[in-house]
Amino acid sequence: MSGVEHDNSFLMAYLKEKKGIIDEALDRYLPGEENYPPVIFKAVRYSLFAGGKRIRPILCLASAEAVGGGSGESLHSILPVACALELIHTYSLIHDDLPAMDNDDYRRGKPTNHKVFGEGIAILAGDALLTEAFHLMPRRDMMGDVPPELLLTVIHDIAEAAGHFGMVGGQVVDLQSEGKEADRETLYYIHSHKTGAMITASVRAGALLAGAGKDELHALSEYGRHVGLVFQITDDILNIEGDRKLLGKNTGSDASRAKITFPALMGVETSRREARNLVEQSLTDIADFDHRARPLREIARYVIERKS
């Protein structure tokens, strides 16, 4: 990893293609505003189609590809789960932005859900998205030849990553540590749970649905764990140094709320070095995979180079 950016035209084309597939599927799965009561579908779609990069669903598909699935018929049986991951991610953003939580007015350059629809509807839009994830996944009619017991395992795994031992736990500690002295253990807990758990679950879900063996699943879980941390460290750095226009939200917001972050704890340069080490680790995790893991490898490098 030199500081020089490598040619990423393969990855850009890959991300664009997959994002298109996910966006189309989400639009197809999610009910429209012609349903009653319109406001809930409007609020859900407002945040769901606010320009998300669909990183979690794409990691799910790329992980399936790495073990020999994720295309053709197999792609279509994985899509509901991939989309459910994005529904859970979007719910978490809506609830995190609430006044009782991070109290953010902007997200991806647009007013946050509660600024547009009010707090009550925003809470309910988050609830609806979380519930819809678990409505979408067990739809047997869309799952092709995925064995039902495997699908149950995936639902269980994703719920574990989203719940009190995963993402919710991370948000709780994040909420409670604002304004307090940062320590490394707490920081790792927050980042590995708040962001890392669902990133890992996304990679695992794709691997499981594509029939990964035990060793492959372990390697991909480790990859997910490391990439998840890189993702959050880069987020922290972008919050300090990023371009407000590219990010679509105010930079410096973490510092103004005395949020516990990697740069606050160890400085920007050490944080960058830590992120580079984690990228190397994630590449080592999947070193035994063949060319079909190329998207996963390129995503790991991309996560650290992204500007938004």
What gap in Å lies between CA 204 and CA 207, rounded to an integer? 5
> Judged by CB under 8 A, does residue 128 bind its own copies?
yes
Pull the structure tokens for residue 77. 């049986």
The minimum distance between CB 239 and its own copies, in angstroms, equals 20
Pull the structure tokens for residue 229. 């941390």
Packed helices 9-29 and 73-97: angle between N→C axes, nearest 10 degrees: 80
> Judged by CB under 8 A, does residue 305 bind its own copies?
no
Closer to its own copies by Cβ: residue 149 or 269 = 149
The minimum distance between CB 119 and its own copies, in angstroms, equals 4
8 A C-beta contact, residue 246 and residue 168 = no
The minimum distance between CB 244 and its own copies, in angstroms, equals 26
Closer to its own copies by Cβ: residue 128 or 229 = 128
Q: Is the bond preceding 99 in cis, omega lying within 30 degrees of 0?
A: no
The minimum distance between CB 240 and its own copies, in angstroms, equals 24
- Tell me which residues in 130-169 interact with its own copies (CB under 8 A): 130-132, 134-135, 138-140, 147-149, 151-153, 155-156, 159-160, 162-165, 168-169
User: What DSSP element (H or E) covers 243?
Assistant: none
The DSSP letter of residue 111 is: E
Pull the structure tokens for residue 140. 């047997």
8 A C-beta contact, residue 106 and residue 253 = no
Most distant CA atoms of the chain, gap in Å:
54
- Tell me which residues in 191-220 interact with its own copies (CB under 8 A): none
CA 93 to chain centre: 10
Pull the structure tokens for residue 17. 């293609």
Closer to its own copies by Cβ: residue 201 or 237 = 201
> Judged by CB under 8 A, does residue 126 bind its own copies?
yes
Residue 33, classed as helix, strand or coil, is coil
Closer to its own copies by Cβ: residue 201 or 283 = 201
- Tell me which residues in 48-107 interact with its own copies (CB under 8 A): 91, 95, 98, 100-101
Count of helix runs (H) and strand runs (E) in the chain: 16, 2
The minimum distance between CB 39 and its own copies, in angstroms, equals 6
Q: Which of the ranges 125-133, 206-214, 217-225, 280-288 carries the binding residues for its own copies, by CB under 8 A? A: 125-133
Closer to its own copies by Cβ: residue 209 or 300 = 209
The minimum distance between CB 273 and its own copies, in angstroms, equals 28
- Tell me which residues in 3-42 interact with its own copies (CB under 8 A): 31, 35-37, 39-41
Closer to its own copies by Cβ: residue 155 or 266 = 155
CB atoms within 10 A of CB 206: 32
Q: How many residues form the binding site for its own copies (CB under 8 A)? A: 53
> Judged by CB under 8 A, does residue 185 bind its own copies?
no
The minimum distance between CB 184 and its own copies, in angstroms, equals 16
Q: In sequence order, which residues have a C-beta less than 8 Å from that of residue 73 and are 6 or more positions away?
A: 144
8 A C-beta contact, residue 260 and residue 182 = yes
What gap in Å lies between CA 44 and CA 41, rounded to an integer? 5
Pull the structure tokens for residue 160. 């574990």
CA nearest 203: which of 113, 266, 293?
A: 293
Q: Where do contacts with its own copies occur on this chain (CB under 8 A)?
A: 31, 35-37, 39-41, 44, 91, 95, 98, 100-101, 118-124, 126-128, 130-132, 134-135, 138-140, 147-149, 151-153, 155-156, 159-160, 162-165, 168-169, 171-173, 175-176, 189
